[in-house]
Chain A
Amino acid sequence: AQSVTQPDIHITVSEGASLELRCNYSYGATPYLFWYVQSPGQGLQLLLKYFSGDTLVQGIKGFEAEFKRSQSSFNLRKPSVHWSDAAEYFCAVGGYSSASKIIFGSGTRLSIRP
């Protein structure tokens, strides 16, 4: 079965501290992996994506993610968080075809401690 698991429902990090959000996936074919961010009442903004190539991908706003096939993981990281990073983060998986649906995790809410 295709699925995405984000084990942390809510994380609080101090401003300036490093961040890692966990994501594990199950997908039968070669996955197309995404991280999205959603601010309250807003739509989804793509942070980064991975399909092939270098397993460490850089995204917007200083985020990066590492694909580990052996662990079926795609964790999101940021070396130093800013108060504006407080939001909901969704990991997602899909196929490379435009006909593929995207399967989302349940999200991790990030709070920033001043």
Chain B
Amino acid sequence: ETGVTQSPTHLIKTRGQQVTLRCSSQSGHNTVSWYQQALGQGPQFIFQYYREEENGRGNFPPRFSGLQFPNYSSELNVNALELDDSALYLCASSSEANGEQFFGPGTRLTVL
């Protein structure tokens, strides 16, 4: 059974650019959640996708957007990057059976 995978591992962008992060969910999982973890802090919920629809959103601006595909993989897009967007972005997948979320290794985004 393959776990949650994320790509790329690391990414460096400049302020104002756009970025796309990718997540492949664990087999059998149809829900994907995205979290932002700034340095020295706990992860913060960005949004969740369930069966290709956004299913809840945290306190993040609209320039954070996402997609979920029929195979339940997901993308996180961030437009007009700001320095404060520098963080570890974590993806987690879960099934309808229960609320346990399985996390991927994360993508480290640095905005210069």
Binding site for B on A (CB under 8 A): 4, 32, 34, 36, 41-46, 49, 51, 90, 92, 94-107
Chain B residues positioned under 8 Å from A105 (CB to CB)? 42
14 additional A-B pairs beyond A98-B96, A101-B33, A105-B42, beta carbons within 8 Å, are: A32-B100, A41-B108, A42-B106, A43-B103, A43-B104, A43-B106, A44-B43, A45-B103, A46-B102, A51-B98, A94-B101, A102-B43, A102-B92, A102-B99
Q: Is the CB of A44 within 8 A of B90?
A: yes
Chain A residues positioned under 8 Å from B48 (CB to CB)? 99, 101
Chain A residues positioned under 8 Å from B58 (CB to CB)? 101
Q: Is the CB of A98 within 8 A of B98?
A: yes
Taking CB as reference atom, which chain B residue is nearest A99?
B55
Name A's interface SS. loop
Chain B residues positioned under 8 Å from A100 (CB to CB)? 99
What number of residue pairs across chains A and B have CB atoms under 8 A from each other?
69
Binding site for A on B (CB under 8 A): 31, 33, 35, 40-45, 48, 50, 55-56, 58, 90, 92, 94-106, 108
The one of B41, B50, B97 that contacts A106, using a Cβ cutoff of 8 Å: B41
Please give the distance in Å from B100's CB to the nearest CB on chain A.
Answer: 6
Please give the distance in Å from A99's CB to the nearest CB on chain B.
Answer: 6
Chain B residues positioned under 8 Å from A99 (CB to CB)? 31, 48, 50, 55-56
The one of A32, A92, A96, A98 that contacts B31, using a Cβ cutoff of 8 Å: A98
Chain A residues positioned under 8 Å from B44 (CB to CB)? 104
| C-alpha spacing A44/B105, complex, angstroms | 7
| C-alpha spacing A43/B106, complex, angstroms | 6
Q: Is the CB of B56 within 8 A of A90?
A: no
